Each structure stands twice: as structure tokens, then as C-alpha cells.
Amino acid sequence: MLFEPTTDLVIVQGESWHIQVECQDEDGGVVDLTGYTAALKAREELNDTTNLIALATGGAGITITANLGLLDIVMTAAQTAALDFDSAYYEIELYKTISDEPIVVKGPRGFIRLQAEVVT
């Protein structure tokens, strides 16, 4: 699976936030994500264990459209308003189990900058 390896993001505090990640093969074709789950985690430092943001499939902010190879990642305005950091490291991972063997695919990663809300 191919992704943009490093993608920096901006979240505007107090606004709804949405990104879409497309999974492609080496030839630019769509990767079928049937059976995959996904997570996005953001931490202040790379080695931190405390998540500033934790989103996942199963109703926790990430939806997979398997046949189109798409991840839709969403946070509500209330969720972004509650964030309290300047910048953080993030990574997206995809997970699948094949024959009882867990498979982890590292997706896009980079920095998230939180643009502070001016009017509250």
C-alpha cells in the first residue's frame, strides 16, 4: 500500500475537521480495504504513551470505504474545541488479521498543528 509518507496537518480549534486518505497500490490502483480497521493517534512527543488524539474505526472517528480504498477521518467541532496542544506527532495505522496473524500497515505520519480558537 502506498500513502504520502509524511503529511503535515492543521486542525482549527472549534471547527469540524475532516481528511480523506486514499490507499493505492504501486501502479496507482485502488487498494481494497475489506477486513481492515484503522487508527489515528497523536502524541506530544514520539515516545509518549499519552494520546492527545485517538481516533479509530468502529464509530470513533474513522470510516473505511473498502472498495474505494478510502479512509475518512473526522472530528466534530466539540472534539476540536476540547484539544489543548500546540503541535503533536501523529500516525495512521491499518490493521488486518490473516490466518491468525496480525498485519499492521503504517500509513501517513507527520505533525498536527492546532490553530487556536479566537472567538469562544
Q: pLDDT (tens digit, 9 = 90+) per residue, 70-100?
A: 999 999 999 999 999 999 999 999 999 888 8
SS3 13: coil
The model's pTM: 0.87
C-alpha cell of residue 69? 480504498
Rg from Cα positions in the chain: 15
Alpha helices in 41-109 (DSSP H): 77-81
Can you list the domains of the chain with their CATH numbers?
Answer: 9-115 (2.60.40.10)
| pLDDT per residue as tens digits for the range 66-78 | 999 999 999 999 9
In this structure, the strands spanning 37-43 and 87-98 are antiparallel
Report residue 75: phi and psi, to 5°: -130, 140
